[in-house]
Structure 1
Amino acid sequence: MDRVWLFYAIQVAASGYALLRGGAPERLTGLALLLAAVSTGLVQRNVPFLFAGLEAGVLIVDLILLAAMVAITLKADRFWPAWATALHALGTGAHLARAISPDVIRLVYAVLSAAWSYPIVLLLVIGTVRHSRRIRARGWDLDWSRQDPTLR
């Protein structure tokens, strides 16, 4: 359980950084990831063996987060959200694997659905750092595709 609290601390720090220093895509992604982390903690089944069966509540949270991340990826003038969305889609796919085959080993299901969270948070931090550098270098940075830079 300590690793869960460690992840929450990392997620809060990364999302806070994105909210303070990021552009709109970083802020929205940081907020979505933070809400998903909290929601996952609330909906996860309280049984002695997590991931013993399909975690339907976690699946719903993951699908909502995936939809938000796809929307951000399609509109953002950034490349990193595509990577983060792809990684989250892999984690969401673990639920599909468990639904199709209940014989999937519990530990494999747990790792496949959660392990992608750390690189996604890292991508958020990298995206925020790069956005901050572009702001310092040019004085502006497009947040969304097809946005006029003079409308800052």
Structure 2
Amino acid sequence: MVRIAIFLTILLAALVYALRKGGGPERAMALILIAMAVADQVLHQFIPPTFTSVDAGHLAIDLAAAAASVTLALTAYRFWPMLAAVLQLLPLMAHVGKAADMSVHPVAYLTMQVAASWLLPPLLVFATWRHQKRVRANGSDRSWLGSSRRSRPKIANS
């Protein structure tokens, strides 16, 4: 239980920092992580985790988070979302591994599902800090692919 409290404290700090100081991609990842945490709590209200068979509820959460993270990685003008997408894909490998070999010990299955999530809050903090550093150095920070680095061009009066 202490492990969960520590993780939630770190996650909460990362989320507050990203939502207050991050650019678009950092805020988007914060929202993905919030949605995952809320979905996990709702899931546990109705279905207790067992990890003895493929966990369909967590599989659904992990699929949605992986899809959102991959979409973020493909649209953000940042490198770190690719790392976040990989970290979101790792739990899917846990589900595939469990489906392929049902004899995987429940503790191993649980560990494979949650271990990568410990890396997401520090990654989000680092990404937000880098965003702030670029804003201080350049005055702005391009967030999305296809967006302009500068603000809108001024139209000269004729």
Shorter chain as denominator, the TM-score bin is over 0.9
Matches of 2:94 and 2:40, distance apart in 1: 15
Q: What is the CA distance between 1:113 and its match in structure 2?
A: 0.6
**CA displacement 1:113-143 (0-9 Å, x = unmatched):** 1000011221111100000000011100000
8 Å CA contact 1:73–1:85 kept in 2: the answer is yes
**CA displacement 1:76-115 (0-9 Å, x = unmatched):** 0100110111111112210111122111111111111100
Q: TM-score, normalised by structure 2?
A: 0.89
Matched, 1:88 2:83: no
- Which residue in 1 is equivalent to 2:63? 63
Instruction: Write the letter of the residue equivalent to 1:35.
Output: A
Instruction: Write the letter of the residue equivalent to 1:121.
Output: P
- Which residue in 2 is equivalent to 1:76? 76
Q: Which runs of at least 4 in structure 1 moved beyond 4 Å after TM superposition?
A: none
Instruction: Write the letter of the residue equivalent to 2:100.
Output: I
- RMSD of aligned C-alpha atoms? 1.3
Matched, 1:11 2:21: no
Structure 2 residue ranges without an equivalent (≥5): 153-158
Aligned residues: 150
- Which residue in 1 is equivalent to 2:128? 128
Q: 1:46 aligns with which of 28, 39, 48?
A: 48
Q: TM-score, normalised by structure 1?
A: 0.93
Q: What is the CA distance between 1:151 and its match in structure 2?
A: 2.5
Q: What is the CA distance between 1:38 and its match in structure 2?
A: 2.2
Q: What is the CA distance between 1:68 and its match in structure 2?
A: 0.5
Matches of 1:84 and 1:120, distance apart in 2: 7
Change in CA separation of 1:2 and 1:38 when aligned onto 2, cut-off 3 Å: farther
Sequence identity (%): 37
Q: What is the CA distance between 1:34 and its match in structure 2?
A: 1.6
Matched, 1:30 2:30: yes
8 Å CA contact 1:77–1:142 kept in 2: the answer is yes
- 3-state DSSP of counterpart to 1:151: coil
Matches of 1:84 and 1:121, distance apart in 2: 10
Larger Rg: 2
Instruction: Write the letter of the residue equivalent to 2:48.
Output: N
Matches of 2:90 and 2:77, distance apart in 1: 23
- 3-state DSSP of counterpart to 2:141: coil
Matches of 1:24 and 1:82, distance apart in 2: 15
Matched, 1:101 2:101: yes
